[in-house]
C-alpha cells in the first residue's frame, strides 16, 4: 500500500507525492492531454513523468526530474516535501522529458550535485543550461551512501541512448530504470495492477522506443532478475510491484522467437492493391497463417509498431506514385527499417501503370532489417488471373518459410 502525502496542482492536473517505501517518495506527473511524443510518436493515452526522492537520513537524492512543460507542478510537489537539504540529483538519461527540470531544481538547491555517466555529463552540458562543475560522473557498480540507504548505479549504454544508466536502491530493492520498462499512460494508478492494460501500453512503448536496442536490452535482463527487485519504478507510466510480469514480457519481446503471423501495411489508391491484399490475406489464412492488414491512411503507427514486435513476415503493399512507392508506404518501410524488429521475411506487392522503381526503393529502405526478401508480386493495373497465381505462389513461399523455422506445422 502507499500513502498520499500531499497534493498540488499543475493547472487542472493533480500532482501527488506517494510514499512507496520507507524514505522513498514518488512524484508522478500526468500529462493527459499530450498526443505526440518527440512530435512523432502517437500518445492515445497521454503520458506521465515519474521522479523519486530517496531520503537516507544523512543525505537526500532526487532520481530524475520532469518534462519542462510540467515544471511548475513538479517543483511545487518537490517543495511540498520540505526537504532540509537535497544533496544529489540523478540523471539516468539526458533526454529532456527526464532532465528538463534539473536547472530549476539546482536553482532551488544550490548545494546539490548532479550524478550521471561520463556521456551523460557531456549531453547535459549541451542540452541544458547547467554548468559542468555542477555535474559529477558515476560509473557502473559505483555506490553512494545516503545514510540508511545505499544507491548503486548500473551502466546501461544504448538503453536507449548511449549515456543511459539504471539506479538501484539496495536496502528496499527498488530499481529506477528511467525509460526501460516504461509505458505512456496518463493514469491515476500508481501501480501496474491493471496488468493487461499496462502490458499493452508497455508493448507499444517498447515497440516505438526500445525495439531497435533489443539485443542490448536482453543482456541486462538476467542481471536485473538476479537482483530480485521488489519494485521496478520507471519514469513513464505505473510502477511494477510484481516485477516478474514486465520482466517476462521483455524476455519475450527481446527474444529471437517470432510468431506464425504476417503483417501487411499497405495503401490502395484505386482499389488494385486493396484487392491484392484481400486475396493474399485469404490465401495465407487458408494455409493457417494469421494476417494483420494495416491500411496506412487509417492506421495508428504505434499499432503498426506493436504488430512488428512479433510478426515473422511483413509484406508491404503499394501503388506506384511518380515512379516510386506511395509516401505512406515509404514511411512505414523506413519505420520498420529503423525499429529493426526480429521478423525473418519480407516481401512487396503492388500495382503500376507504366513502370517505376517501387521495389528497388522499398528494398533499400528495408536494408537495415536482417530479413530474407521474398519474390515481389507486381500487377499492371488491377490484378488479373496471372497476378492471383503469383500471389498464391507468394503465400506458398511464406508458408514454406514459416515451416522451415518451426513456427508452423508441416504438411
**Domain boundaries, given as residue ranges, for the chain:** 3-254, 263-400
pLDDT value of residue 395: 98
Element spanning 362, H or E: helix 358-365
The answer to whether domain 3-254 has CATH 3.60.10.10 is no
pLDDT value of residue 411: 56
Give the CA diameter of the chain. Answer: 79
Element spanning 263, H or E: strand 259-266
Element spanning 346, H or E: strand 345-352
Cα–Cα distances (Å) from 107 to 101, 110, 115, 315, in that order, read 10, 6, 16, 53
The answer to whether domain 263-400 has CATH 3.40.50.360 is yes
Q: Are 306 and 338 in contact (CB under 8 A)?
A: no
Hey, what's the cell of 89? 540529483
Distance CA 166, CA 152 (A): 9
Omega cis (within 30) before 160:
yes
Hey, what's the cell of 234? 520507471
Checking DSSP bridges between strand 113-116 and strand 88-90, what pairing results, if any? parallel
For the chain, which residues score pLDDT lower than 50?
1-14
Q: CB within 8 A of 165, min separation 6: which ones?
A: 92, 93, 116, 117, 120, 138, 140, 153, 154, 155, 156
Checking DSSP bridges between strand 60-63 and strand 88-90, what pairing results, if any? parallel
239-243, long-range: CB within 8 Å, 24+ apart, which pairs? Answer: 239/20, 239/26, 239/50, 239/190, 239/191, 239/192, 240/181, 240/191, 240/192, 241/191, 241/192, 242/192, 242/195, 243/175
Hey, what's the cell of 105? 531544481
Half-sphere exposure of 158 (CA within 13 A, CB side): 10
Global confidence as pTM:
0.92
Amino acid at each position: 500500500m502507499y500513502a498520499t502525502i500531499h497534493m498540488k496542482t499543475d493547472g487542472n492536473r493533480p500532482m501527488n507525492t506517494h510514499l512507496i517505501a520507507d524514505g522513498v517518495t514518488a512524484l508522478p506527473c500526468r500529462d493527459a492531454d499530450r498526443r505526440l511524443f518527440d512530435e512523432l510518436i502517437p500518445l492515445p493515452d497521454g503520458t506521465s513523468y515519474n521522479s523519486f526522492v530517496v531520503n537516507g537520513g544523512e543525505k537526500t537524492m532526487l532520481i530524475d526530474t520532469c518534462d519542462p512543460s510540467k515544471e511548475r507542478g513538479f517543483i511545487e510537489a518537490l517543495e511540498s516535501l520540505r526537504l532540509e537539504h537535497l544533496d544529489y540529483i540523478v540523471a539516468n538519461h539526458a533526454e529532456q522529458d527526464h532532465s528538463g527540470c534539473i536547472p530549476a531544481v539546482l536553482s532551488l538547491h544550490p548545494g546539490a550535485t548532479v550524478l550521471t555517466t561520463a556521456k551523460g555529463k557531456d549531453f547535459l552540458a549541451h542540452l541544458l543550461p547547467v554548468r559542468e562543475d555542477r555535474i559529477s560522473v558515476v560509473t557502473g557498480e559505483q555506490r553512494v551512501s545516503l545514510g540508511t540507504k545505499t544507491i548503486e548505479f548500473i551502466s546501461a549504454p544504448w538503453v536507449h541512448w548511449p549515456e543511459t544508466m539504471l539506479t538501484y536502491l539496495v536496502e528496499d530493492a527498488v530499481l529506477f530504470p528511467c525509460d526501460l520498462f516504461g509505458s505512456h499512460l496518463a493514469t491515476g494508478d500508481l501501480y501496474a495492477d491493471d496488468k493487461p492494460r499496462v502490458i499493452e501500453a508497455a508493448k507499444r512503448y517498447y515497440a516505438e522506443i526500445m525495439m531497435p536496442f533489443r539485443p542490448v536490452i536482453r543482456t541486462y535482463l538476467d542481471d536485473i532478475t538476479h537482483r530480485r527487485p521488489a519494485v521496478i519504478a520507471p519514469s513513464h507510466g505505473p510502477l511494477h510491484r510484481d516485477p516478474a510480469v514486465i520482466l517476462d514480457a521483455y524476455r519475450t519481446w527481446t527474444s529471437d522467437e517470432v510468431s506464425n503471423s504476417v503483417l501487411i501495411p499497405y495503401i490502395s489508391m484505386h482499389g488494385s492493391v486493396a484487392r491484392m491484399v484481400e486475396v493474399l490475406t485469404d490465401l495465407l489464412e487458408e494455409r493457417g497463417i494469421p494476417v494483420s492488414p494495416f491500411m496506412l491512411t487509417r492506421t495508428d503507427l504505434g499499432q503498426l509498431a506493436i504488430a512488428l514486435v512479433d510478426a515473422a513476415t511483413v509484406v508491404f503493399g503499394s501503388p506506384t506514385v511518380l515512379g516510386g512507392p506511395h509516401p505512406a508506404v515509404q514511411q512505414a518501410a523506413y519505420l520498420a527499417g529503423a525499429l529493426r524488429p526480429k521478423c525473418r521475411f519480407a516481401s512487396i506487392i503492388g500495382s503500376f501503370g507504366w513502370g517505376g522503381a517501387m521495389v528497388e526503393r522499398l528494398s533499400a529502405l528495408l536494408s537495415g532489417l536482417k530479413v530474407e526478401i521474398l519474390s515481389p508480386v507486381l500487377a499492371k493495373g488491377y490484378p488479373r488471373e496471372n497476378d492471383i497465381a503469383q500471389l498464391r505462389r507468394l503465400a506458398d513461399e511464406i508458408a514454406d518459410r514459416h515451416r522451415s523455422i518451426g513456427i508452423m506445422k508441416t504438411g
